Amino acid sequence: MSVGAKRLITAALLGGAALALQARAGTLEQAWRRAALRNQTLAAAAAEVQAARSGERAARDARWPSIEAQASYSRLGQTPELQVLTPSLAFRSGPIFKDNQYLSATVQMRLPLYTGGAIRAGEAAARDGVRGAAAMQQATAADVKLEVAEAYVAILRAQRQVGVAHASVASLAAHLRDVQAKFDRHMVAMSDLLAADVALANARSSQVSAKNALEVSEEEYNRLLGEPLGRVPHLDPVLPSFAVDRLPLAQLIAQALVRRGELHALAARAGALAARAHAATASRLPHLAAVGGYTHFDNQILNRENFSSVGVGFTWKLFDGGAAANAADALRSRSRADRHRLADLRSRIALEVRTDWLTLAADRARVQASRAATAQAEENLHVSRQLYGVGLASNTQVLEAVTLRTQAEEDYNNATLDAALDRLRLAYAVGAL
């Protein structure tokens, strides 16, 4: 079998192994789904939404009647008696309570008829609370997805760095063998051999650092997904694509100002504070309620012990020292503060979209430039080693060529991964992640 045929078979086997590994590799979308099920920050945001919905139901329930039961037992030191004195008659009853003790019990139902708008304002505040919690859940989900994406890309970057370091070690080891062979034939000085040996030692040190950085990146990724620490993830290098980078910048900014959950959450909080201010003001207005009840009262004088009643209750807090007015003013001021924060947040989001859009354009240009530089650095190393083999290039020239090739590969890897991550960050900035 010819050498060319052997190379084709080897390439086919390596390609098949790579495809099989990629088929088993997890994608970023799968990582997002696992994080959504296991991430504690997302679980906390979901609990906040449930709490807000329960608060909304509680605010609506304030319109329903409330039923309250009370009971008491009392023992007196001396039972009172009923005494009636008139000019023509003197009457004195027996003891009102038997054995100096009595039991009383009341069941009362109260239905609010008018509260000055307090119930309606409470319902509005609760609805805004639900909208705000749901919007914050959306924003938190986007934050977690971006954090997972950054950890995902960090692993890909570290893996490529390990590959570059391995290639550098292999190149320098091969060059060291060439220098050793020349030195053994007294064709080069000892300084060439020492320089090549030092360069190889430095490359091996960089390789160790790259492997350590890869392990650290994998641990952070496992933590975000709720996976056991120490697990070695197999990642698909193909990242999801978003079409946001194909739209005009003005349209991206407009989408961001509509979609971003933080904006909706802050607007809802400002609305809830304004509604609570109205409820605080309503506490100073008259309140009406329909009241019905049933009472049991132990006694030996009245002709019955059980009574039923129905009526209308009226309460009006005429003076509270200014507490309600000051509380309402504080809530309105906090609402205005959130409105100012909302305006500032809109400006910062617009800047974020513009910055990510410009950064993505710059990194795309870096990809093109670094791709050409990588090919040139590879060719430069090949030529330098050939020239060194025939004595037309120095040892320093070969070592510099290895360094240039390593740097070019690192620049290309960083540029491609930066561009991919910038696209995800732009999708996050416009609320599409």
Average pLDDT value for the chain = 87
CA distance 124 to 116: 14
Q: Tell me the two tokens of residue 149.
A: 């994406």
Residue 11 has pLDDT above 70, yes or no: no
| pLDDT > 70 in the chain, percent | 94
Query: Which pLDDT does position 129 carry in this prediction?
Result: 93
Provide the β-strand partners of residue 313: 289
Provide the β-strand partners of residue 290: 111, 312
Q: Tell me the two tokens of residue 111.
A: 């239905």
Residue 333 has pLDDT above 60, yes or no: yes
Reported as a pLDDT band with limits 50, 70 and 90, residue 21 is: very low
CATH classification (class only), 66-114+285-319: mainly beta
The whole-number average pLDDT for the span 192-219 is 91
Residue 20 has pLDDT above 80, yes or no: no
Domain limits of the chain? 26-64+117-284+322-429, 66-114+285-319
Burial of 37 (0-12, 13-18, 19+ CB in 10 A): exposed
Query: Which pLDDT does position 25 carry in this prediction?
Result: 56
Q: Which residue has the tokens 């079409």?
A: 243
Query: Which pLDDT does position 245 carry in this prediction?
Result: 75
Query: Which pLDDT does position 209 carry in this prediction?
Result: 94
pTM summary value: 0.78
Query: Which pLDDT does position 22 carry in this prediction?
Result: 41
Burial of 108 (0-12, 13-18, 19+ CB in 10 A): middle
| pLDDT > 90 in the chain, percent | 48
Residue 361 has pLDDT above 70, yes or no: yes
* Nearest residue to 141 (alpha-carbon basis) of 39, 238, 12: 39
Encode 43-56 in three state secondary structure. HHHHHHHHHHHHHH
Q: Which of 92-106, 162-176, 324-338 has the lowest mean pLDDT?
A: 92-106
Tens digits of per-residue pLDDT, 253-288? 999 999 999 999 999 999 999 999 999 999 888 999
Q: Which residue has the tokens 């924003």?
A: 139
Q: Which residue has the tokens 């994608």?
A: 27
Burial of 357 (0-12, 13-18, 19+ CB in 10 A): buried
Q: Is the model more confident about 51 or about 192? A: 51
> What CATH topology corresponds to 26-64+117-284+322-429?
Outer membrane efflux proteins (OEP) (1.20.1600)
Query: Which pLDDT does position 329 carry in this prediction?
Result: 93
Tens digits of per-residue pLDDT, 278-316? 999 998 889 999 999 999 988 888 888 898 999 998 888
CA distance 389 to 364: 38
